[in-house]
Amino acid sequence: MRDVEIDGYHVRFQRCLSEATPFLPDLGSEALAVQRAYARADATEVLAAFREARATTLKLLIDLDDTQLARTAFFEDYGPVTLRSLVHYLCSHDQQHLSGLQWLLGKIEAARAAAVD
């Protein structure tokens, strides 16, 4: 999430604001995970970096007006988008990860219950 925020959405938002209909490539999240050794990353450091990145995102978006939010781009694998739609995609990305964490917590709790029986 940290790298998608920084290398993905920060760049996408900035390009939407500064370029006429930019092409926004997909990051290739799975390749990033391998290249940047996510499995060996320090969770505390990653969370702190994500927190800082999200604060930067909020500062970037907070004062945008309707005209800025309506600026367009072409997002690889999605097609034509507006900056506003990119914000929705970012929120959806967050929700997908939160949903996965909820599922994982359910599995952990089920395993605990099975171990007690």
Residue 15's pLDDT is what? 97
Task: Name the DSSP letter for residue 79.
Answer: E
Residue 39's pLDDT is what? 79
Cβ-contact 83, 71 below 8 angstroms: yes
Beta strands in 7-105 (DSSP E): 23-24, 72-75, 79-82
Amino acid at 55: A
Amino acid at 66: D
The label of the residue with tokens 């034509």 reads 80
Give the residues of the chain that fall short of pLDDT 70: none
Residue 64's pLDDT is what? 98
- In this structure, the chain runs to a length of 117
Residue 117's pLDDT is what? 74
Quick one: how far is CA 3 from the chain centroid? Answer: 8
Q: What is the CATH number that goes with domain 2-116?
A: 1.20.120.450
Count of C-beta atoms within a 10 Å radius of residue 49: 17
Q: pTM to 2 decimals?
A: 0.84
Residue 27's pLDDT is what? 86
The pLDDT tens digits for 62-90 are 999 999 999 999 999 999 999 999 999 99
Measure the CA angle with vertex 22, ends 18 and 23; round to 5°. 150
Count of C-beta atoms within a 10 Å radius of residue 8: 21
Taking all residues of the chain, what is their mean pLDDT, rounded to a whole number? Answer: 92
H helical segments located in the chain: 2-3, 11-18, 29-35, 43-61, 66-69, 83-116
What is the residue extent of each domain of the chain? 2-116
